[in-house]
Structure 1
Amino acid sequence: MDSPKKTKITDPKVALTKAEHYCAYQERSQQEVRDKLYEWGLWPDAVENIISELIGGNYLNEERFAKAYTQGKFKQKGWGRIKIKQGLKFKKVPDVLIKKALLTIDGDDYMRMLEAVLTKKARTVIEKDNFKRNYKLQNYAVSRGFEADLIADLLKSNDL
């Protein structure tokens, strides 16, 4: 079965209007918008002009996107700084803005989130040997993007 062919947009004005709606719906990185514009079939010069207009109209703001992404992934998904940083790098956000966005995470909230993640996982880990149990918990928290030294400190100080 053939999938329906996507219509291509050739008029930059139509593309700009559609891109404004795309950006107004939720915060986007420049790379996400650029990819979407190319997907719509626009030429590179038209894409860069539209990106410039979106930035000028404040539809597109990398710093605002980085902060929204950071807060969303931290509060909703329970991700650590490392995983958030990787996600932002994947979306081609500049390092300066990544650092700025990561500073918006409160240190106390971060430790509470790490503790909550470990506590929730600890309920599901069935392991008698305490060393193996902590190893599993540490691996899980690392996979969620938390720093190994913070995890180790928390596991030593708490009986999870």
Structure 2
Amino acid sequence: MQNTPSFTVEEATRKLESYCAYQDRCHKEVVVKLKGMRMIPQAIDHIIAHLIQENYLNEERFAQSYARGKFKYKKWGRNRITTELKLRQISHYNIKTALKEIEADYHTVFHELADKKWEQTQGLPPQKRKKKLLDYLLYRGWESHLIYEKINDLAS
């Protein structure tokens, strides 16, 4: 058997306070971390309740910072951000709130990203160029209707 250290509830609580203070976390990440520390379900519930009460753990704040970060640095669209938040078991309400964080710059970033990729594909045949742009933007989670409109604008 592996020699994994065991933690008291107090030790685990302190460790998770630091874990959550370092960067916003979702409930799922915290539960996985606690299970990795071999905590029993009652202890997990107790620690999570404490983290929520002390505002170390806040799903809405996590969703908002996640959406802002992925949009700003990775240039992800709504679809990709929504999918990733759903994988982390974030509520529909919190996902909607998070997406409001990126509304202001959404179309500007989309057009800049599409124009940049279009320039990078110069020299390719028109169909291949369109396909590359489509695949690139779909993978990053941008809505297909926006992509097709943009392709039509760029190709004409």
Q: TM-score, normalised by structure 1?
A: 0.89
State the partner residue of 1:42: 39
The 2-side partners of 1:126 and 1:158 are apart by 12
SS of equivalent to 1:102:
helix
Aligned counterpart for 1:141 among listed residues 113, 120, 137? 137
Query: 8 Å contact 1:9–1:15 — kept in the other structure?
Result: no
1:47 maps to a residue whose letter is: I
After superposition, the C-alpha distances for 1:133-154 in whole angstroms (9 at most, x for unaligned) are 1122011100110001011112
Is structure 2 residue 27 aligned with structure 1 residue 25? no
State the partner residue of 1:63: 60
Is structure 2 residue 116 aligned with structure 1 residue 120? yes
Query: 8 Å contact 2:114–2:150 — kept in the other structure?
Result: no
Percent identity reads 39
State the partner residue of 2:153: 157
The structure carrying a bigger helix percent of its residues is: 2
After superposition, the C-alpha distances for 1:22-70 in whole angstroms (9 at most, x for unaligned) are 0000000011001000001101110011000000000000000000000
CA-CA distance at 1:123 after TM superposition: 3.2
Query: 8 Å contact 1:67–1:104 — kept in the other structure?
Result: yes
Structure 1 unpaired stretches of 5+: none
The 2-side partners of 1:102 and 1:44 are apart by 32
Structure 2 unpaired stretches of 5+: none
Q: TM-score, normalised by structure 2?
A: 0.91
Query: 8 Å contact 1:27–1:65 — kept in the other structure?
Result: yes
Q: For residues 121 and 138 of structure 1, do their structure 2 counterparts lie closer, same or farther at Cα, with a shift above 3 Å needed?
A: same
State the partner residue of 2:125: 129
The aligned runs of 1:44-123 (5 Å cut-off) are 44-107=41-104, 109-123=105-119
State the partner residue of 1:8: 5
